[in-house]
Amino acid sequence: MKFFLFVSFITAFLLGITMQLGLQKTPVAPKATPLFLARYKSTIKDHFKKPENANILFSFITGNKNGISPYTKKAFKKLNLSFLLSPSGIHFSALFVFVAFFLKKIKIKWIRYFTKAGIVSSVFFFPNFEALKRLGILRLLFQIKFLSKMKISLEIIFFLTFILSFIFGQYKASPLGFIFSFAFLGTFFSLRHNSKIILILGLFSTQLILALFMGDKVSLLSIPCGLFGSFLFTFLFPVFVLFLLTFWLIPINWVEPILKLYISSIQVTSKLLNGSFTSSSIFLILAIWMLMFHKASTRKYIGFCLLLFLHTNTAMNPVIYSPN
Host domain of residue 60: 2-280
CB 238 within 8 A of CB 94: yes
Q: Which residues does 237 contact at the CB level (< 8 Å), separation at least 6?
A: 60, 90, 91, 94, 95
* Chain centre distance of CA 59: 15
Element (H, E) at 168: none
Higher pLDDT, 68 or 117: 68
Q: What is the rounded CA–CA span in Å between residue 224 and residue 103?
A: 32
Residues 200 and 255 in one domain: yes
CB 69 within 8 A of CB 208: no
Helix crossing, 196-214 with 175-190: angle to 10°? Answer: 160
Q: pLDDT class for 324, splitting at 50, 70, 90?
A: very low
Residue 104 predicted with pLDDT over 70:
yes
Q: What is the 3-state secondary structure (H, E, C) of 85-102?
A: HCCCHHHHHHHHHHHHHH
Q: What is the rounded CA–CA span in Å between residue 115 and residue 112?
A: 5
Residues 33 and 53 in one domain: yes
Share of the chain above pLDDT 70, in %: 92
Residue 30 predicted with pLDDT over 70:
no
pLDDT value of position 78: 93
Q: Of 38-47, 64-73, 142-151, 275-284, where does mean pLDDT reach its minimum?
A: 142-151
pLDDT value of position 253: 93
Residues 269 and 304 in one domain: no
Report the domain count for the chain: 2
CB 84 within 8 A of CB 63: no
Residue 147 predicted with pLDDT over 70:
yes
Residue 314 predicted with pLDDT over 70:
no
Q: Which residues does 65 contact at the CB level (< 8 Å), separation at least 6?
A: 55, 59, 73, 85, 86
pLDDT value of position 316: 54
Of the chain, the end-to-end C-alpha distance in Å amounts to: 36
Residues 190 and 78 in one domain: yes
Residues β-bridged to residue 279: 217
pTM for the full model? 0.84
Residues 136 and 257 in one domain: yes
Residues 32 and 148 in one domain: yes
3-state secondary structure (DSSP) of residue 292: helix
* Chain centre distance of CA 211: 15
Residues 193 and 117 in one domain: yes
Residues 27 and 173 in one domain: yes
Residues 92 and 171 in one domain: yes
Residues 240 and 291 in one domain: no
Q: What is the rounded CA–CA span in Å between residue 291 and residue 77?
A: 26
What's the pLDDT tens digit per position in 74-91?
A: 999 999 999 999 888 888
What's the pLDDT tens digit per position in 170-209?
A: 898 889 989 999 999 999 999 988 888 999 999 999 999 9
